[in-house]
Amino acid sequence: MSEFKIIKAGPEQIEDIINIAHATWPEAYAQILSEVQLNYMLGEFYNKPYLAQRMEQGNLFYLVQHKEELLGFMEIELDEKPGYTKLHKLYVLPRAQGLKLGRLLMEEAIVIAKRAGQQGIFLNVNRYNKAQQFYERQGFSVIETVDINIGNGFYMNDFIMQLNFK
């Protein structure tokens, strides 16, 4: 049996999710976002009411656990566009990266989406984020380039990547 477990997260784990994001983002985005934008985005997207509301609306959050430690998380939304699941977030703590935990979470997302009869999974990734290569390794390819206005004069310069099951 694997020493790593995937568990479904509920409201009681929101603080853990916020902590993992705060421990992961500065390193992941150091070369990509200004410190001001990074702090703005963490504040907007990683606060308790915002995440609780996303859970209430049916988005699914999963954590990867090793013994008592939580090492990463993901958020998915079935049918974000008809027939397709969106992977909204996928973060593994810097010290746990490269241990196949990202892949483990992604495999779980694929199982859940297939079980729900979805045709595929898509996601946004910053155009300068090396996570793009991770997603390519999992079979995703770029389908669109988008610049999204997130307020306060900030933009997310993303690729949309998609994996079709058939």
Q: Point out which residues bind ligand COA (CB under 6 A).
A: 24, 28, 90-92, 97-103, 125, 129-131, 133-134, 137
- In angstroms, give the least distance from the CB of 90 to ligand COA: 5
- In angstroms, give the least distance from the CB of 165 to ligand COA: 19
- Return the H-helix or E-strand segment holding 70: strand 69-81
- In angstroms, give the least distance from the CB of 86 to ligand COA: 12
Nearer CB in complex with ligand COA: 99/112 = 99
CA dihedral defined by 98, 101, 102, 108, rounded to 10 degrees? 160
Nearer CB in complex with ligand COA: 34/117 = 34
Nearer CB in complex with ligand COA: 78/101 = 101
Which position's Cβ is nearest ligand COA?
Answer: 102
- In angstroms, give the least distance from the CB of 17 to ligand COA: 13
How far apart CA 6 and CA 73 sit, in angstroms, is: 9
R_g of the chain, CA atoms, integer Å: 15
Nearest to 87 by CA among 51, 53, 48, 59: 59
- In angstroms, give the least distance from the CB of 24 to ligand COA: 5
How far apart CA 112 and CA 108 sit, in angstroms, is: 6
Residue 144 burial by Cβ neighbours in a 10 Å radius (0-12, 13-18, 19+): exposed
Nearer CB in complex with ligand COA: 79/134 = 134
Nearer CB in complex with ligand COA: 58/98 = 98
